[in-house]
Amino acid sequence: MERTWVEETTNKIGKKVILFGWVNAKRDHGKVTFIDLRDGTGLVQVVGRNELKKLSGEDVVRIEGKVQKRPEKLVNPKLATGTVEIAAEKATLLNSADELPFPIDTKGDDIDEGVRLKYRYLDLRRPRLQRNIRVRSAYVQACREYLFSKKFVEIETPILTKSTPEGSRDFLVPSRLNPGKFFALPQSPQQYKQLLMTAGFERYFQIARCLRDEDPRADRGFEHTQVDIEMSFVEREEVMQMVEAMVVFAVEKIGGKVAKKPFPVFTYNEAIKQFGADKFDLRSEREKQTGMLAFAWVIEFPFFEKDSEGKWTFSHNPFSSPLLQHEKWLMGKTHIGEILTTQYDLVANGFEVAGGSIRSHKPEILQRVFEILGYREEEIKEKFGHMLEAFTYGTPPHGGCAHGFERLLMAFFGEEYLREVQAFPQSGSGRTSVMEAPSEVEVKQLKELGIRVSK
Ligand code: ASP
């Protein structure tokens, strides 16, 4: 007989079923014993006699029994399956569970973070996290569905790659075959996705993992995931519209409500004047109560800003192109502080949830950007020669965006921490869940890599 999922039991009144799952709760009433059986789809009450007595909380079981309608006065309106119960005929203990290190039927935010992450596989059993991770999956699926319907191709790009300037610190991986040389983990697939435009894919996307060695914060960890997008033959508004339509589609798919459509657009200057920042929350007090998502685009950022040493640095992305009317300034290296970029950022409820730009697809423009950033000729060749060369072989005009949907889900759920929407996040001090990393490695491994650790 085929397995029945808990959520299907209400359609199987009078039928014999086999269920699998965990003992969510047990109530022993002497002659009769009840358990709430939990599987990936919900809870259902199982009623039995001796066969259920031996079970305890979080045991893993197989239940064979008959679905019966509950009498009217015993219907449990709080349970999706509250109109039925399973009369157990046979209960098989598949694995017994020791007492868990913490309760899993609470919100969990009062439990020490280190303990929660050490036992993340148990922490994830709590309904709040089950919901977060399952809705996350549905959100990503909706993004995929939308993009596939618009001729996008899903393409993976390398994890072992070369350092690319994304404004953050790289994670480095030593090369055994090339002692003294290192790979970098990607801060984003920026350069590869642009090369895919040269390659003629025209519309690319990837659910991309981005790795940045920054100090962790509530809404930032070492790793985050983006819906990464790049499109050929587009102007700024077309990318913004595509991303907006995808986000609205996916948000509404998971039951979210969007405050204003189309999303309002602010220039960077307007945003600073009105909100004092380029990230802001447009929700009214009433909207805050109702779980509304208030999106807005911000455009026309300065391309360059001065760093702490007074040198020019890029504000967002060196591969962005300037606004068309500012191309002259860029090529002539004048009015540098006034050059505006085609960058667009999407904010929602005070979080930055996407960012992108139209790119410089002409090598001479990109070359000029790197010159303004103070790179020497050899350095430009060494670091970005492959891009400049690629752009000499027929690269279409292109632009893209990366949607940091984890932050959007944080806003959607009203979660305070990014890690509440990630299955195995790092701790606030940057250590991994369950398996304690970073950790020491064997001397033999270090030798192979030609690395000596100085204490
Ligand atoms: N690569 C950029 C980022 O990760 C996004 C983009 O411009 O497409 O922020």
- Classify residue 413: in a domain, yes or no: yes
Are residues 125 and 89 part of one domain? no
- Classify residue 442: in a domain, yes or no: no
Q: List the CATH number of the domain containing 153.
A: 3.30.930.10
Are residues 180 and 31 part of one domain? no
Q: State the total domains in the chain.
A: 2
Are residues 357 and 280 part of one domain? yes
Query: Residue 210 C-alpha to ligand 1 middle, in angstroms?
Result: 10
Q: Check pocket membership of 342 for ligand 1, CB cut-off 6 A.
A: no
Ligand 1, atom 8, lies closest to the CA of 401
Q: List the CATH number of the domain containing 26.
A: 2.40.50.140
Residue that terminates a domain, selected from 65, 95, 125: 95
- Classify residue 142: in a domain, yes or no: yes
- Classify residue 147: in a domain, yes or no: yes
Q: Which atom of ligand 1 is nearest to the CA of 189?
A: 1
Compute CA 324 distance to the chain's CA centroid, rounded to the nearest angstrom: 33
Ligand 1, atom 4, lies closest to the CA of 188
Residue written as token pair 């070492």: 222
Residue that terminates a domain, selected from 95, 126, 147: 95
Are residues 130 and 89 part of one domain? no
Report the distance separating Cα 247 and Cα 442, nearest Å.
46
The answer to whether residues 17 and 54 touch, using CB atoms and an 8 Å cutoff, is no
Say whether pTM exceeds 0.85.
yes
Q: Check pocket membership of 6 for ligand 1, CB cut-off 6 A.
A: no
Report the distance separating Cα 428 and Cα 426, nearest Å.
7
Q: Check pocket membership of 400 for ligand 1, CB cut-off 6 A.
A: yes
Query: Residue 353 C-alpha to ligand 1 middle, in angstroms?
Result: 11
- Classify residue 103: in a domain, yes or no: no
Are residues 276 and 129 part of one domain? yes
Range of the domain at 170: 117-421
Sheet holding 265-267, edge to edge: 153-154, 203-211, 223-232, 398-403, 351-358, 344-348, 295-299, 265-267
Are residues 230 and 144 part of one domain? yes
Residue written as token pair 């208030």: 294
Q: Check pocket membership of 157 for ligand 1, CB cut-off 6 A.
A: no
Q: Check pocket membership of 355 for ligand 1, CB cut-off 6 A.
A: yes
The kind and range of the H/E element at 54 are: none
Q: Check pocket membership of 399 for ligand 1, CB cut-off 6 A.
A: no
- Classify residue 197: in a domain, yes or no: yes
Ligand 1, atom 7, lies closest to the CA of 356
- Classify residue 441: in a domain, yes or no: no
For a ligand 1 pocket test, name from 228, 229, 298 the mutation site with the most ligand atoms within 8 angstroms of its C-beta: 228
Max CA distance (Å), the chain: 89
Burial code (b: 16+ CB inside 10 Å, e: under 16) for 131-160 equals: ebeebbeebbebbbebbeeeebeebebeee
Residue from 220, 218, 254, 258 nearest 346 by CA: 258
Are residues 201 and 80 part of one domain? no
Are residues 65 and 147 part of one domain? no
Are residues 229 and 161 part of one domain? yes
- Classify residue 449: in a domain, yes or no: no
For a ligand 1 pocket test, name from 188, 195, 204, 224 the mutation site with the most ligand atoms within 8 angstroms of its C-beta: 188
Angle between helix 363-372 and helix 377-390 axes, rounded to 10 deg: 150
Q: Check pocket membership of 356 for ligand 1, CB cut-off 6 A.
A: yes
Are residues 279 and 197 part of one domain? yes
One pLDDT digit (tens) per residue for the chain, 455 residues: 899 999 999 999 999 999 999 999 999 999 999 999 999 999 999 999 999 999 999 999 999 999 999 999 999 999 999 999 999 999 999 999 999 999 999 999 999 999 999 999 999 999 999 999 999 999 999 999 999 999 999 999 999 999 776 778 999 999 999 999 999 999 999 999 999 999 999 999 999 999 999 998 888 889 999 999 999 999 999 999 999 999 999 999 999 999 999 999 999 999 999 999 999 999 999 999 888 999 999 999 999 999 999 999 999 999 999 999 999 999 999 999 999 999 999 999 999 999 999 999 999 999 999 999 999 999 999 999 999 999 999 999 999 999 999 999 999 999 999 999 999 999 989 999 999 899 999 999 999 999 999 88
Are residues 216 and 91 part of one domain? no
Are residues 318 and 202 part of one domain? yes
Q: Check pocket membership of 402 for ligand 1, CB cut-off 6 A.
A: yes
